Structure 1
Amino acid sequence: MTIPAASRASYPVRPGNAIHPLIDGVPAFRRICEAIEQAKHSVWATVTFMWAACRMPDGRGTPLDVLNRAAERGIDVRIIFWRPDPETEYLKTNAFWGAPEHIEKLSESHPSLLIRWDRAQPGYCQHQKSWLIDAGAESETAFLGGINLNPHSVVAPGHRGEGQNHDVYIELAGPSTVDVHHNFAQRWNEASERKLPDGRWGAGSESDLSFPTEIPRQRGQALVQIQRTIHKGRFANGHATPEGSVFPIEEGELSNFEQYCAAIDAARSSIYMENQYVAVPEIIACLHRALRRGVEIVVVVPAEDKAPEPLLDLAAFDHFTLAGIAGLNDDGARKPVWVHAKLMLIDGEWGTVGSCNLHRYSLFGNCEMNAAFWDSKSVRALLDGLLDEHLDVDVSGMDDRAAMQLFGRIARSNRQRYEDSDSSWQGLAYSLLPIEGSGR
């Protein structure tokens, strides 16, 4: 492997996985709902935010409607919801944290639905967004990414107006799903609120889960490592994952941070990154070193009035592109689309997708989970899909570096149109750096 794996991690690199990228909320949640509807044994989810207004695709109703139908079929349905603490209380509005109105909603649910609430280290967030289907069974499948149960995320492709989100999940099948299973069991068993009268819901929610013992069969060719951010002191039981080592989880885990730095430092040709925030100095320093080596870099972030300050120093390099995306409203005007994805693709060979932003909260304090994968087929499928959406062009015949260079040219051309108040762009992407001499 030219990109090294995280060395200090709960989970090993495992061969034999299949990865399928799911770009944006409707395709992602449509596929997740299909998997829930086909589940034979269990559906387990870790949820950060669940808006009351969220509806699943194709008339399926609310997320709870989908999960209740699974429970009615006798499926073991468990959810770990984040409960904000006093320092994060401002985020309660769209979290399903166990308020009286949430308990009232649950009173209408199937009695076998099981829930535990979980707080993070004070000031931080239980930020994992994962779905695990048929844990421990032959059909075990996991979904990892950054998409919240948010009405702004579950929007039909092509509807790119103001207030909408762009995000990504991956579907994972094969040996590494056992580590998603282990993560869920570890979190369920040590959920912070589990012993409080209002810290769990459903008959059976008081019972802990067994850790997995069997590794699923190989389903593809991808090497995968499940990586996390876990604050020290949150968990105590470092029970080893199957064919893994006992990990001192009480000391915390920073394998997401280790992997991001190692991957950027190993890049030889190209880096494509989408992230809601890129603000940690160590990550910026890694990108700066890569640019000095001549690596072609594209970073896609939310399109705000002012480009993120930490990234502006990188703009001195011609082979660096900082971009946002904007869609067309019904009136023909361009409106920014919020980039909520957390992904990076390197050299057309390696990628990571998950819940981890590149700010200090996600890298050092929140509870996060990503899947890093070494598989050129999966990486190119994701890269080609993203650039087809953002640039409205097929890049599948280009090498990774040429694709990044094309992205830069189109983004700069669209920036010029933006400054000329011309909304007839190619695709969605535009440079967040003003054209020299434009006065803006």
Structure 2
Amino acid sequence: MNARWTTGNRFELLENGEAFFPAVFDAIRHAKHEVVLETFIVFEDKVGWELHAALVEAGRRGVSVDVLVDGFGSSELTPAFIGPLAGAGVRLRAFDPKPRFLGMRTNVFRRMHRKIVVVDQAVAFVGGLNYSADHLADFGPQAKQDYAVKVEGPIVAEIHTFARAAIANADPRRHWFRREHDPQRQTGSEAAALFVTRDNQDHRTDIERHYRVAIRAARKEVTIANAYFFPGYRLLKEMRRAARRGVRVRLILQGEPDMPIVKTAAAMLYDHLQRAGVQIYEYCARPLHGKVALTDDEWSTVGSSNLDPLSLSLNLEANLFIRDRAFNRHLRERLEALIENGCQQISADRLPARNVFHLVRSFFVFHFLRRYPAWAGWLPAHVPKVVTPQVDDHPGAASLEGMTRVTETPEAR
């Protein structure tokens, strides 16, 4: 587990697409040297096309632009979207795309779920937002509630090194540019950051372990807002222990889920957690897509990792862990507003009565939670590929999955 905290950073919380998209697009439009972007989803809607325009314009003015999308999450990208990117010199790659079988996508597991942007090695963005219109309030009742962080300072160099390693190996001709200034001099702040990733090779449990360490060290408060909540036994145990020693432990979970099974799975844990004193709130204003947490007065995290089997045991994820009182305070204010204005607390009288069915279900859930990190290894475990799609001029090339000429490279770790 990487334990090297980097000081001298500056952080800005970006809430929802209204704050995130303008900040990212403005950074890309002002890029002078390089843009590196990784994301799970790009849709061809108004947000995806605005990203497209910013990337094309950057490529045309000579900025080095590399984009990595997930082959499952962004499988519907068409030649009309991909072609102009290639024409502007943007290097687009897809993580492990697969053709459909009987109309169904087969590349469900071990997805590239990270959301990272680095511009000129000077500013980075890490969080949970995809490039899709459902992160904007005008999308309607199903608009997602989500968070990202904009960061400047020395930690950006570490994020950049990681992102380059995940993308650059797909093109052996890739060149590097020299910085014109020292990123260590970006800010005099003592705010510390730790960039932590999860993969299926050397860093399988790093993000979860940092959560557990922070909860174990908490003395006053733990607040977690997470969209897809079904963590492993060890993380649940730390939450229960913290609550029993007098720490106020609050969970903000989905009350209006984008997928009904999400709420059903999380609700199976409510009784187990509440009996130890954990407070549970369901956010009911719209679907919650955030993955943020804080403890006490200093520690917090923003990233792509949910607290569920996919994120904790299968997907490639990235979180920024932060030690900064000002950022912690601002995040707490925003989560307090979320609780006050959009949540309902789950009280004990709303839980189902304990009966034989409840006890049997709890038994199986308990043992699943104890074992699922090991069981995850039984799922399809081929070596994923990063591929470079090239647009064919025939009607069959209708999406990223339909691209026929690719360059295959081993998964970057």
Report the residue type matching 2:35 in the other structure.
Answer: V
Q: State the shift of 1:216 in Å.
A: 3.5
Structure 2 distance, partners of 1:112, 1:437, is 56
C-alpha distance 231-54 of structure 1, shift in aligned 2 (>3 A): farther
Unaligned runs of 5+ in 2: 98-106, 257-262, 354-413
Match status 1:119 vs 2:111 = no
Distance change in 2, residues 1:163/1:102 (3 Å): same
Equivalent-residue separation in structure 2 for 1:37 and 1:338 (angstroms): 30
1:158-307 paired onto structure 2 within 5 Å:
161-190=140-169, 194=170, 207-208=173-174, 210=176, 216-219=184-187, 220-232=189-201, 251-279=202-230, 280-304=232-256, 306=264
Q: Taking structure 1 as reference, are residues 338 and 436 closer, same or farther at Cα in structure 2, changes over 3 Å only?
A: closer
Question: How many Å apart are 1:433 and its aligned residue?
Answer: 4.0
Whether the 8 Å contact between 2:274 and 2:348 is mirrored in structure 1 is: no
Unmatched 5+ residue regions in structure 1? 1-7, 85-94, 195-204, 233-250, 328-336, 392-426
Q: CA deviation at 1:209?
A: 5.2
Greater Cα shift, 283-292 or 305-314: 305-314
Asked if 1:96 corresponds to 2:74, the answer is yes
Q: In the TM superposition, what is the alpha-carbon distance from 1:112 to its structure 2 partner? A: 1.0
- Partner Cα separation in structure 2 for residue 437 and residue 265 of structure 1: 27
**Structure 1 residues 68, 436: closer, same or farther in 2, change over 3 A?**
closer
Give the drift of 1:81.
1.2
Q: Does 1:141 align with 2:92?
A: no
1:183–1:301 CA distance, 2 compared to 1 (3 A): same
Equivalent in 2, 15, 20 of residue 12 of structure 2: 20
The residue number in structure 1 matching 2:401 is none
- The TM-score, its normalising length taken from structure 1, stands at 0.69
Which residue of 343, 352, 362 corresponds with 2:292? 343
Identity of aligned residues (%): 22
How far off is 1:44 after superposition? 1.1
- Residues 278 and 310 of structure 1 are in contact (CA less than 8 Å); yes or no, is this contact kept in structure 2? no
Question: Which has the higher relative contact order, 1 or 2, with Cα contacts under 8 A spaced 6 or more apart?
Answer: 2
Structure 2 length-normalised TM: 0.74
Amino acid in structure 2 at the alignment position of 1:172:
V
Structure 2 letter corresponding to 1:270: E
1:76 equivalent among 64, 75, 86 = 64
Confirm whether residue 153 of structure 1 aligns to residue 135 of structure 2: yes
C-alpha contact 1:276 1:302 (8 A) present in aligned 2:
yes
Over residues 420-439 of structure 1, what are the superposed CA-to-partner deviations in whole Å (9 max), with x where a residue is unaligned? xxxxxxx1111244646999
Number of aligned residues: 332
- The structure 1 residue matched to 2:274, chosen from 304, 310, 315, is 315
State whether residues 348 and 380 of structure 1, in contact with CA within 8 Å, keep that contact through their aligned partners in structure 2.
yes
Rounded Cα–Cα distance in structure 1 between residues aligned with 2:346 and 2:61: 50
Whole-angstrom distance in 1 between the partners of 2:351 and 2:127? 40
Residue from 84, 102, 108 that aligns with 1:108: 84
Q: Which residue matches 1:235?
A: none
Contact 2:56 2:84 in 1 (8 A): no
Q: Is the 8 A contact 2:124 2:151 kept in 1?
A: yes
